[in-house]
Structure 1
Amino acid sequence: MSILFQTNILNSFIIFYIIIATVELSHSASKHKIPSYIKICKRNDPHVEECILNSVEQLRPRLVNGIPELDVPALEPLTLPEVVVSRGGNFRAVGTNVIVRGASNFKVTKLKVDLKKNIFYIGIEIPHLTFDAQYDVNARILVVPVKGKGPIKANATDVVGDVVLKARKVKREGETYIEFKSIDIDLKIENYSVRLENLFNGDKALGDAVNVALNENKKDFMKALKPIVEKVVGEIVLDIANKITKNFTYDELFPKE
């Protein structure tokens, strides 16, 4: 696995962090007292999607700077101490001190909530993202070996994510909760560029060749990595979603009135 995979993971994580943070926070109420600046949307509201979108826009300035009382980190910049992708064999990439800029310019392009079937359809776009980090990678993508450690700079433009989250109601201690059971993701990145310094222990010729390959064969690399990215991100999103919802009953997340 390569640093390109890692960059795609970061793109995806940012998209779905925004989705989970905005949609879930816009619904949540009560056991963990929700501040007055979060607009609660009722499940019987015939315009619930519009209500959620309005809530997202009201939350945007606070998402930029973070909401410490709800453990929501700042989006601008978004700082990730470590990102690890490892699948055994020639399949490992680690990013540390990852700083991402541009995530606060997200736009929710689609939102449909089917509370009878507990299905959520969400789309989001981010025009431009930049990444600065330290990388440590030992991997192979297609036929290209990538090995080294050092600084990385990358950017991605027109990042688009579509997700379908499916949930079910579960009983715990006499209360009804919602649990996300599956996710379908479709991720598209229109363009990207990436530069890794100090590849192959500073071998300039090899390092330049790999950087050229990563940037000149974008469609092939993205096509090869897309299924793996979507699978890994899906697992992450389900975990995040269920960590959020386990603290609130169904009626607290989706009040009638």
Structure 2
Amino acid sequence: MNLDNKVLTFTMKMPKLEQIAKYNINGKIMVLPVYGSGDSKITLSGAKIIHTIKFKEEIKNKKVYFKIISYRVEFTVENAHFQFENLFNGDKQLAENILKVLNENGRVLFEDASEGIDKSYAEVYKNIATRFFQNVPVDDIFLP
């Protein structure tokens, strides 16, 4: 953390992180054609997220607040496990085979997609941090 340079940096470590969502895919993963839509669960093991927040100070009601200029994350994992329901429109044999390949290469696949993943997570965290910093003055965050 370097408040003089208006930068906050911190690391979050999570032994296990699950992301549950709806998916819709029609494309290629590792040159393999993949399609389907439905429920998904991605389980990340050994997740580490380094957050870097650049900010400026704003005065409101005679108190100093942080205003975020940029928010960046760098996401790494030890492993990733993928589960997609209704992959290949319900063809279980095809789905099992592709999921086996995906899960055997989970960390590599995650790394290949890391730029988009980092940007997506940064946007989520930025929204949360913005609401926090808009409402909590700096003096209430960093006590003397």
Shorter-chain TM band: 0.7 to 0.9
Report 1:1-257 matches (<5 A): 113-130=1-18, 133=20, 135-140=22-27, 141-172=29-60, 175-256=63-144
State the percentage of identical aligned residues.
24
Give, in whole Å, the separation in 2 of the partners of 1:119 and 1:179: 11
CA shift, 1:142, in A, is: 4.2
User: How many Å separate the matches in 2 of 1:145 and 1:170?
Assistant: 50
Q: Which runs of 5+ in 2 are unaligned?
A: none
Aligned CA-pair RMSD: 2.5
Q: Deviations over 1:150-178 (max 9, x none)?
A: 44444322111222222110234654321
Structure 1 unmatched runs, 5+: 1-112
Partner AA of 2:69 in structure 1: K
Per mean C-alpha deviation after superposition, the further-off stretch among 141-150 and 197-206 is 141-150
Higher strand share: 2
Q: Deviations over 1:112-149 (max 9, x none)?
A: x3232232221122223455x46332243342343323
- Partners of 1:204 and 1:225 in 2: CA distance: 25
1:142–1:224 CA contact under 8 A, matched in 2: no
Task: Output the amino acid matched with 2:6.
Answer: N
CA distance in 2, matches of 1:239, 1:183: 10
SS in 1 for 2:9: strand
TM-score, normalised via structure 2 length: 0.79
Q: Conserved in 1, the CA contact under 8 Å of 2:80 and 2:107?
A: no
